[in-house]
Each structure stands twice: as structure tokens, then as C-alpha cells.
Structure 1
Amino acid sequence: MLNLIQNEQMKIYRRLRTWILIVLLIVIVVMASLFSHSGSDVNDKWKTRAAETIEHNTKELENPDIPAKFKQAMKDEIATQQYMLDHNYPPADHTLWGGVLGASILILVVTLFTVIIAGDMVAGEFTWGTIKLLLIRPASRTKILLAKYMATLLFAATLLIVLFLSALIANGFLYGFESLNLPHLAVNSAGQVQEKSMLMFVFATYGLKLIELVMIVTLAFMISTVFRSSSLAIGLSIFIMFAGQMITMLLMRYSWGKYFLFANTDLTPYLEGQPLAEGMTMGFSITVLICYFVLFNALTWVIFRKRDVAA
């Protein structure tokens, strides 16, 4: 099995297209970091802004018309800003970690590049006529298909690592590496500010966004298996990826809209306690995603096993 995966990896990385995508990703990350760089003058004024925020929120808490939910958020903000002032912790947004977190939006680019590879993994074999040579090997169709799928996910993981390291290095040069040990501040239910690992928080943020990547790549891989055209598989997958959120907004007007795939791929709103629709929970979205994941892979496996390659 490992030999099959290694063989599929070699097919991916021996193509010039793959290296162009990797270099292009690095360029995009560096350019995005340069454009989003806030500058040193912003960092010098953070204490003044923090004090102003504390003063403003303290006055707003006296307003009886503000809902309790927003008052609690203000109290948490006051506690966080005061903790930052007491311990001389600058806002993470204006450090290298802010740049790394901001770069997480570029996972969309990683998804796009991986879709290009995934859309060609199976369909490309039919296009070039190499599928017959592949299937005469002693390995079963199930193992061959699994090897292709695993190689696609490994490529996605490689791009994610490239994205993270590029963002870390680029923003390190822009903001300085002295904030590497900056903690992530979180307020617990008792209103106390706790220091947590910023690296683990960044990994958690990337991990939640990774779910959407895996689902879209799995969808692209299924389409690549269903259709023998690489261009159709890639084009259709990219269209679904970009149109997914717009379709979600249209369907959320209906109660059954919450079962749509792209209504559940972004789990980050649950961290803020703000689900996309009433009745949706983290457990519900995970269950829906599992159902889609099983469906996509089942269709891929059934179609690939039954497909006649002799014609």
C-alpha cells in the first residue's frame, strides 16, 4: 500500500505544474503579508487604544438597553485589554501571529490548488489511457483508489505546511520574531483571563478550516472518478467551491437548508457561539459532514470498481 501511495506521490511531484503551484502559493502568501502589514506606528499606540476601549466599554455597561449577551462580551473585552496592559502583551493582530492567523484565509487557495490535482487523479488516467496499465497490477482497485485519495490528501497537507511556514517567516521579518512566545488570551466562564498556547490556537484555527478543504477535495476526487474528463472534473469542482457559500445563503431561508454541505463546512462560528441558523450545533454539523464524507467516498468506490476500462 505504501508503495502505491509513493508511486502516486511521484506522479504528482514530477510534473512542472505541481512546483509552479507551490511557488505561486509562497508568492501569494508573501504578497498578502506585505499588503496586510500594519506598520510599527500602529504597535506604538496599542496601549492608548486599549485604555480607550476599557473606558468606553465601562461606560456602555451602565446602559440598561444593551442586551446581557453584549454586556458579557464587553466585560470579557475589558478583562482582556486590562490583562494586556498589566503584562505588556501587544495585540496579536499586530504581531507575526496576527499575520499567520490572517493567512488562514489563504487555505482557500490551498483548496483550489488541491482541487486541480484531485480533479486529475483519476480522470487523468482515463484521458491519457494509462488506466489499463494501472489496473493490470496485482493491487486491487480499492487499494489503487485509496492510494490516489491518500496521495491527494498528502499533497493538501504539504501545501498547508508550505502556507504556514511561509506566513510565519514572512510575518516574522515584517513584525519581528520577538512575539513568538506571545500567549493567546482567553476569558473563562468566571471572567478570569487565562494564558494559552498561541501555537495551539493557530493550529486549531487552521484545523477547523481544514475540514472544508477535505470535504471539497473529496468532492473533487469523486467527480474525477465519475467523469473521465479532467477539465470537467476540475471546472465543476471549482464552480461548486466558489458557488457553495452563495447557494448556502439562499437555502438558509428554508428549514432544510441547514442540511446543505456548505452550511456546515465552516465550524469556526461555533467557537463564538454564533451558529449559522437556529438549531444548528457543532455536533449536528459534524454529523452532516460525516454523512456527506461517507456518501462521496462510497460513490467513488462503487463507480471506480464497476467502471469498464476496456472500452
Structure 2
Amino acid sequence: MIRLLNLIQNENMKVYRRLRTWILGVLLIVIVVMAATLSHVGYDDNDDWKTVAAESIEHNKKELENPDLPETFKMSMREEIALQQYALDHNMPPIQNTLWGGVQSAADLIQIVTLFTVIIAGDMVAGEFTWGTIKLLLIRPATRAKILFSKYAATLLFAAVLLLVLFISAMIVNGILYGFQNINLPYLKVSAEGSVQERSMLLHVLATYGFKLIQLIMVVKLAFMISTVFRSSSLAIGLSIFIMFAGQIITMLLMRYSWGKYFLFANTDLTQYLEGSPMAEGMTMGFSICVLLFYFLLFNVLSWEIFRRRDVAA
């Protein structure tokens, strides 16, 4: 165990001693600041939200009188009316008017974190062959399995650091822009009985981040596998980034077919279940988790077999 921890520490040193790593971290903070500032443009800190909420309630009540309106729409409108009325009664501004709205929106920037981590993951194994240091690495008493695991662990630790930077910088920047007075604002949700319940806003935001984190782990694992296949760092990074961005386009094309739901990128975004709108009929949270586990195990097996059989002398 101590030897494995030393290997992970060694891989972390390789990551953080490079200028590229620090540039990616600073760039992430700059992107967070720019995104928050652009979202704040046009924001007016006043009580207009109360007027908008009252008008929305009246509009939805009139819509409910329409007999041709589907029952699912009526149920959604009733929940919206209950939430807005509760917010008015307790003087709770909508989340988009507070720092929490900006922090939750920053969860979309996990795509940037994924991109930056892919750059590191694509270089983890292939870089050893590019620089010719793989022979020095393998003459150590540690097994190839431990060496491969230490590289993957270091990659995930780098992703965790970037996620922490993203969350903290989003909290600070949006707190400055919107103020910290609503930091204790609860998250409102309508229960099955129709009553409005107050829940932790922090846990709700972290759940959003957590669901998007699944996509990061799968894409990084894919990039890590590609890095073990190719000896060229540039090819491994380029191919990984291409698959990352092309995956969503391919998903939209494949969803026209019933078997498209088994495609990896059709299941990586678990927020579709948080919002209650799966990409295809028959897809559930359990189904997507099973598909993701299959791909995760497949990528692990391929990475291990390719790295184990790799002829270092070639």
C-alpha cells in the first residue's frame, strides 16, 4: 500500500510540476469569472421578481381552465403555482436571482474541466513512450497494474482539484455579483402530496455537480484507455478530444434507432433523470448506470490488457 501511495505521489508530481497544469487551472478561473459576469449583465437587483411571479401565477391559473390542456401540463402548472406562491409568501427570490443560480449554472463548465482532464489523461501513458521514460518506470519493483492504477488515480485527483477550483471560484464570483445575503436560501420542491418542502440548496447544487461528474469520469476513462493504445501523446489527446465532442452529435443521430440508447454518450448525462426527461423511452436511472458500468469495466479491461502486453522495447 505504501509503495502504491508513493507511485501516486510520484505521478502527481509529474502533473503539477508542468507549467501546462497551472495554466489550465488559471484558465478555468478566468472562464468562471467571464461566464458569471456575462450572466449577470442586465440583472436588476430589485423586487420585480415578485411582480413576475404574481403575473405567472395568474397566467397559469387561467391556463388550467382550458379543458384541452393535457393532464401532465396541468400537473406541472399546479406545481409551478405552488412553488411561486410559497416563494412570495416567504419572500424567497428565485434561484436565478441569487448566487446559487450562478453556482448551479457553473456546473455546465464541468465540460471544460473534462476537457482539461482529458488533456492530462491523454498524456499519462502515451507521454511515457513519447519521452522514452517508460523503461525507467517499468524497471521498478512495482507491478504494471500498480503503475497503471497510480496514473489513473493521479488523473482523477487532478480532476477533483479542478472541480474544487470550479466550485469555490463560482461561489466567490457569484457571491460578489449577487451578494451573499441569500446564501441560506432553501431549495423548494413539491412533494407527492402537493405540499411545498424546503430542502438544502447546497445538497441540491452538489447533486447537480455529482450527476455531471459521471460524464467526466467516463470520458476521462476513455481518454486514459486511448492513451494506453497509442504511443503518441498528441494523437491520444487529439483523438480523445474529438471523441468527447463528437460523442454528443453521434448520440443525436443514433437516438433515432431503438438500440441507440446503449451508446455510451446517451447515458453519461444523468441529469436527464434529475429533470425527468430521459433521451429515449425505456431509459431509466438504473438502465444508464448498468450501461455505464459495462463501458467502465470494458475500458478498464482493455487498458490493462494493452498495457500488460505492450512491448516496451518496440
Tell me if both proteins adopt one fold, taking TM over 0.5 as the criterion: yes
**2:162 counterpart letter in structure 1:** L
Unaligned runs of 5+ in 1: none
**2:146 counterpart letter in structure 1:** K
- Counterpart CA distance in 2 for 1:207 and 1:114 is 16
Matched residue, 1:49: 52
Cα distance per residue 1:201-227 (max 9 Å; x no partner)? 010000000000000000000000011
**1:214 counterpart letter in structure 2:** I
Unaligned runs of 5+ in 2: none
**2:108 counterpart letter in structure 1:** I
Give TM-score scaled by structure 1 length. 0.99
Tell me if structure 2 keeps the 8 A contact 1:119–1:230. Answer: yes
Matched residue, 2:282: 279
Matched residue, 2:270: 267
Cα distance per residue 1:129-157 (max 9 Å; x no partner)? 00000000010000000000000000001
Matched residue, 1:7: 10
Residue 27 (structure 1) aligned with residue 30 (structure 2): yes
How many residues are paired up?
311
Q: Secondary structure at the match of 1:41?
A: coil
Tell me if structure 2 keeps the 8 A contact 1:43–1:94. Answer: no
Matched residue, 2:105: 102
Tell me if structure 2 keeps the 8 A contact 1:38–1:94. Answer: no
Cα distance per residue 1:185-215 (max 9 Å; x no partner)? 0111111110000000010000000000000
1:178 to 176, 181, 206: 181
The Cα of 1:250 is off from its aligned counterpart by 0.5
- Counterpart CA distance in 1 for 2:105 and 2:154 is 28
- Counterpart CA distance in 2 for 1:245 and 1:260 is 10
Matched residue, 1:212: 215
- Counterpart CA distance in 2 for 1:41 and 1:166 is 23
Residue 202 (structure 1) aligned with residue 222 (structure 2): no
Matched residue, 1:63: 66
- Counterpart CA distance in 1 for 2:298 and 2:11 is 24
1:166 to 159, 165, 169: 169
Q: Secondary structure at the match of 1:186?
A: strand
Q: Secondary structure at the match of 2:197?
A: strand
Residue 119 (structure 1) aligned with residue 157 (structure 2): no
The Cα of 1:44 is off from its aligned counterpart by 2.4
**1:305 counterpart letter in structure 2:** R
- Counterpart CA distance in 1 for 2:302 and 2:184 is 47
Relative to 1, partners in 2 of residues 1:65 and 1:301: Cα closer, same or farther, differing over 3 Å? same
Measured on the aligned residues, the alpha-carbon RMSD in Å equals 0.8
- Counterpart CA distance in 2 for 1:110 and 1:270 is 22
Cα distance per residue 1:23-60 (max 9 Å; x no partner)? 00000000100000155525420000010111011111
The runs of at least 4 consecutive aligned structure 1 residues that moved more than 4 Å come to: none
1:297 to 294, 297, 300: 300
Matched residue, 2:225: 222
Relative to 1, partners in 2 of residues 1:11 and 1:234: Cα closer, same or farther, differing over 3 Å? same
Q: Secondary structure at the match of 1:52?
A: helix
- Counterpart CA distance in 2 for 1:128 and 1:231 is 12
Q: Secondary structure at the match of 2:183?
A: helix
Q: Secondary structure at the match of 1:235?
A: helix
The Cα of 1:273 is off from its aligned counterpart by 2.1
Tell me if structure 2 keeps the 8 A contact 1:43–1:90. Answer: no
**1:275 counterpart letter in structure 2:** P
Cα distance per residue 1:237-257 (max 9 Å; x no partner)? 101111111100100111110
